[in-house]
Amino acid sequence: MKMNYRMTLILAIVCLNAAFVFGQEKALEKDAFDSAVNGAQKKLAKQAYRRTNVYEMFDDRDSEPTKSSKTVTEIALSGAIRWLVESDGKKYEMILVDGKRYKKEDGGPWKLDESAGGYGRGCGAETKDLSYKIKENSDLGGKKANLYESVQKMLGVSCGKESADELWTERYWIGEDGMLLKSESIFEDIGKKSMRRDVSVYEYDPNIKIEAPVK
């Protein structure tokens, strides 16, 4: 009985220590947060990688998304880019090589795309509260990574018009080698159940090759 009690006590202490070392969380200064995240993003410029992004919109965050899209982006060491997009029941594929962009829809023929465009929020917003933290040695699907998180409250003013206050949460999982493994952005309307979530997973593959689909 004494031996069993002693072994139980030892195991409890070991588990407690492991829990403390693996995944401990602490506050972080903005400069340290920016240095880690910006450093990981800069490393992408020298890598061939695949990013799988899922964007979802929720009217009720406790229910299924009302709208979602999936984009797989591949970037070769040459700088060529391929996009595979699934949105609203349609599939698009685009390739950018040597400054030329090619596009096809729903398995149709490749065409040279002369159009150009962009998107963005368009207007700034004012930050009311801002905090940063790190969860060291976080578990990401069996991989060890440091989880960096920022949370900020944005005042409800957009393009000169009043709108709902938003809570923006951004998370970055960065591996021991400083490489970005995953990112997540969550935008919540304060006082409402609506939410938008943007998640990207990164895979590094030096064998990615992208060429122009048509001459």
Mean pLDDT of the chain: 84
Report the range of poorest mean pLDDT among 14-28, 49-63, 94-108, 143-157. 14-28
Please give the structure tokens belonging to residue 176.
């021991």
| Domain edges within the chain | 24-116+123-204
Question: What does the pLDDT read at residue 154?
Answer: 82
Name which residue leads in pLDDT, 192 or 174.
174
Q: In this structure, are residues 81 and 93 in contact, taking their beta carbons and an 8 Å threshold?
A: no
Domain 24-116+123-204 class in CATH: mainly beta
Determine the average pLDDT of the residues in 156-163.
Answer: 56
CA distance 181 to 49: 11
DSSP code at position 38:
H
Which element (helix H / strand E) includes 20? helix 2-21
Name which residue leads in pLDDT, 160 or 148.
148
- Tokens 């090759």, located at residue: 209
Please give the structure tokens belonging to residue 45.
């410029």
pLDDT at 97 over 60: yes
Please give the structure tokens belonging to residue 23.
């995944």
Alpha-carbon distances of 174 from 84, 159, 163, 187, 193, rounded to whole Å = 25, 34, 34, 21, 30
Task: Summarize pLDDT for 128-148 with one digit per residue, the tens.
Answer: 778 999 999 999 988 899 999
| Predicted TM-score of the model (pTM) | 0.81
Question: What does the pLDDT read at residue 3?
Answer: 45
CA distance 72 to 93: 10
Length of the chain in terms of residues written: 215
Question: What does the pLDDT read at residue 160?
Answer: 53
pLDDT band at residue 161 using 50, 70 and 90 as cut-offs:
low
